[in-house]
């Protein structure tokens, strides 16, 4: 499977999820840097996949993809973008064969020879039947990904499905497990494998006779669904970091408006590549809870520490490894600098002081609660009934500023003086936005 195709699908889905409904076919294609023909083809493939995956789901979930993506931020905890990870292309015969093998091994321990017989009996007759070598290759793959295991004993080896985790749990325990996986996949990162497991457990519960609504008791409000698309790159980066390897990629800055550039191997993608080829030593990734976005933090031989939005990374490839020493040095530098970043800013440290005003009403002081919960390493002092001071040493003000501003009139900037001036100017301008009402 060409990596190319996933880059395209990720960008495609991200744009659908973020800007759903905004663009015409032509505009959408232009922004992705693909032809309308490719746009149509990609959409058709994705729709095809959705309709197959949707079987057994209520029909009202819609047929239009953008509608489907928009569907139910409140009404379902199903991560709609998970299907990206189900998009790997596969030959029809292979998917039939693998499913038959797995099915045969659900309840029985069988040898490769037994399984070859199963295939001869059950594979569609219009194609060639798999030979023993093919079956052994399949078994090796299934064992590698852990869905089957080899049973103790000599040759010929016997295999069975690796379903103990599920089979050995009672209905009640399975329910608890489903809930735990549901909660953790939704609230913690990384979550893709958790969502895949959640899908599996959901099916088991139905199989054991639970009502479909039994798996719909939890809701997650204000979840950043598109975050799971970026997890596509997470393991590639993780692998490179573990081996201290450089990464080589084409970076498309999300700020520049074009979100996808093709490798011009495919005549459908004859567009100019706009973006920068980068080679960096990956050090860490940062997840920003304010926007649900991921960043790669790397070290560049000339530029020093660099930050890339994960969504802009395409055509990632591993390059040469560096010495352990060198990696350790860069890592400690990155960790030191990120210690005082609100998100990823590594510019000069500034002291910011703000006065917060507690709500006049009696009862819970939700301003104080919010500052305590979200103020990261900032310190609260001079706490009285009506106000408190918040002080933080932070790299630059650019990243903390939106958070401070989100408190509206409950937050007054004291230091630095220029930031105070900026806030006054901004509030004046915001006031003009709503003057005429």
Partner 1 sequence: MNPFEKIFNFQIISRLDEMGSLALTSQERSWLKTMLVHPASTEAFTPTTLSKLNILLDAESSTEVQEIIIEKAKGQERQVYHPMLRTLRRIIMQDHGILLSYHIKHGGIKNNQSGFPHKLEYNMFKREWYLQWYNTRHHSLMSTKLKNIVSVEETLVPLDRVEALKVMLERLLEERKDYTWIQVVPTFNVELSRILYAFSCFEKSVSFDEDSGIYRIKVNYMRDESEFLLSKIRFLGLRVKIIEGEHLKRRMRESASMALARYADL
Is residue 413 packed enough to be buried (19+ CB in 10 Å), middle (13-18) or exposed (0-12)? Answer: buried
Q: What is the footprint of partner 1 within residues 104-163 (CB under 8 A)?
A: 106, 141-142, 145-147, 161-163
CB of 22 to partner 1, least distance (A): 4
Interface residue with partner 1 among 57, 303, 328, 430 (CB under 8 A) is 430
Do 170 and 60 touch, CB atoms closer than 8 A? no
Give me 361's structure tokens: 């009403």
Contact 275, 251 (CB under 8 A): yes
Please enumerate, as own/partner, the contacts of 75-80 that have beta carbons within 8 Å and a separation of 24 or more: 75/219, 76/216, 77/182, 77/186, 77/216, 77/218, 77/219, 77/220, 79/185, 79/191, 79/195, 79/225, 79/228, 80/17, 80/225
How far apart, in whole angstroms, are the C-alpha atoms of residue 156 and residue 232?
38
Q: Choose, by CB under 8 A, the member of 234, 246, 247, 352 that binds partner 1.
A: 234
Is the separation of the CB atoms in 271 and 34 below 8 Å? yes
- Closer CB to partner 1, 78 or 231, in the complex: 231
409 CB neighbour count, 10 Å cutoff: 7
As a whole number of angstroms, the distance between CA 271 and CA 275 comes to 12
H-helix or E-strand spanning residue 394: strand 387-395
Least distance from C-beta 303 to partner 1, angstroms? 20
Q: How far is the CB of 220 from partner 1 (least distance, A)?
A: 5
> For partner 1, which residue of 121, 131, 173, 272 counts as binding (CB under 8 A)?
173
Comparing CB distances to partner 1, the nearer of 117 and 426 is: 426
Of 32-40, 124-132, 320-328, 417-425: span binding partner 1 (CB under 8 A):
417-425
Q: How far is the CB of 133 from partner 1 (least distance, A)?
A: 18
Tell which residue, 394, 401, 391, has the closest CA to residue 427. 401
Provide, rounded to whole angstroms, the least separation between the CB of residue 287 and partner 1: 5
Of positions 25, 218, 300, 329, contacts partner 1 by CB under 8 A: 218
Does 407 help bind partner 1 (rule: CB under 8 A)?
yes
Contacts of 244 (CB under 8 A, 6+ apart): 281, 321, 322, 323, 324, 326, 327
Sign of CA dihedral 198, 199, 200, 202: positive
Site string for partner 1, 360-399 (x = CB under 8 A): --xxx-------xxx-x-----------------------
418 near partner 1, rule: CB under 8 A: no
347 binds partner 1 (CB under 8 A): no
Report the residue from 159, 260, 342, 388 that binds partner 1 according to the rule CB under 8 A.
Answer: 342
- Give least dist CB 117 to partner 1, A: 17
Q: How far is the CB of 267 from partner 1 (least distance, A)?
A: 25
Minimum CB separation of residue 265 from partner 1 in Å reads: 20
Residue 225 near partner 1 by CB under 8 A: yes
User: Distance between CA atoms of 293 and 288, rounded to whole angstroms?
Assistant: 5
User: Which residues from 42-81 bind partner 1, rule CB under 8 A?
Assistant: 49, 52-53, 55-56, 70, 72-74
**What distance in Å separates the CA atoms of residue 47 and residue 41, rounded to the nearest whole number?**
10
Contact stretch for partner 1 (CB under 8 A) within 177-185, 268-276, 298-306, 315-323: 177-185
Q: By CB under 8 A, what part of segment 276-335 binds partner 1?
A: 284-293, 297
Smallest gap from residue 301 Cβ to partner 1 (A): 21
């Amino acid at each position: 499977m060409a990596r190319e195709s996933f880059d395209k699908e990720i960008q495609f889905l991200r744009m659908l999820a973020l800007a759903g409904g905004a663009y015409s076919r032509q505009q959408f294609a232009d922004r992705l840097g693909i032809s309308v023909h490719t746009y149509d083809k990609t959409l058709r493939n994705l729709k095809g996949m959705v309709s197959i995956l949707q079987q057994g789901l209520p029909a009202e979930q819609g047929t239009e993809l953008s509608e489907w993506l928009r569907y139910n931020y409140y009404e379902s905890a199903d991560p709609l973008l998970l299907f990206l990870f189900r998009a790997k292309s596969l030959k029809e015969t292979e998917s039939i064969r693998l499913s038959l093998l797995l099915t045969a091994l659900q309840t029985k321990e069988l040898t490769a020879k037994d399984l070859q017989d199963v295939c001869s009996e059950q594979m569609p007759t219009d194609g060639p039947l798999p030979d023993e070598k093919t079956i052994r290759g399949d078994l090796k793959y299934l064992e590698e990904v852990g869905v089957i295991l080899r049973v103790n004993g000599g040759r010929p080896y016997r295999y069975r499905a690796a379903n103990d985790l599920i089979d050995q749990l009672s209905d009640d325990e399975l329910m608890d497990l489903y809930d735990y996986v549901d909660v953790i996949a939704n609230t913690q990162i990384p979550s893709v494998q958790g969502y895949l497991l959640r899908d599996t457990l959901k099916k088991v519960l139905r199989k054991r006779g639970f009502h479909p609504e039994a798996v719909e008791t939890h809701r997650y409000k204000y979840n950043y669904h598109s975050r799971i698309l970026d997890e596509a790159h997470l393991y590639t980066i993780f692998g490179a970091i573990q081996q201290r390897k450089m990464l080589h990629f084409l970076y498309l800055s999300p700020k520049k408006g074009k979100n996808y550039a093709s490798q011009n191997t495919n005549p459908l993608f004859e567009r100019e590549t706009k973006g920068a080829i980068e080679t960096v030593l990956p050090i860490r990734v940062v997840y920003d809870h304010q926007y649900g976005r991921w960043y790669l933090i790397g070290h560049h031989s000339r530029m020093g520490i660099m930050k890339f939005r994960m969504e802009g990374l395409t055509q990632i490839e591993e390059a040469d490894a560096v010495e352990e020493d060198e990696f350790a040095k860069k890592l400690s530098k990155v960790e030191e600098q990120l210690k005082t970043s609100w998100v990823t800013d590594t510019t000069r440290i500034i002291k910011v002081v703000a006065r917060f005003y507690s709500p006049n009403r009696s009862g819970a002081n939700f301003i104080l609660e919010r500052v305590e919960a979200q103020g990261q390493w900032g310190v609260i002092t001079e706490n009285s009934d009506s106000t408190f001071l918040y002080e933080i040493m932070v790299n630059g003000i650019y990243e903390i500023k939106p958070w401070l501003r989100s408190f509206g009139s409950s937050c007054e900037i004291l230091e630095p003086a220029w930031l105070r001036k900026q806030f006054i100017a901004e509030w004046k301008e915001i006031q003009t936005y709503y003057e005429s009402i």
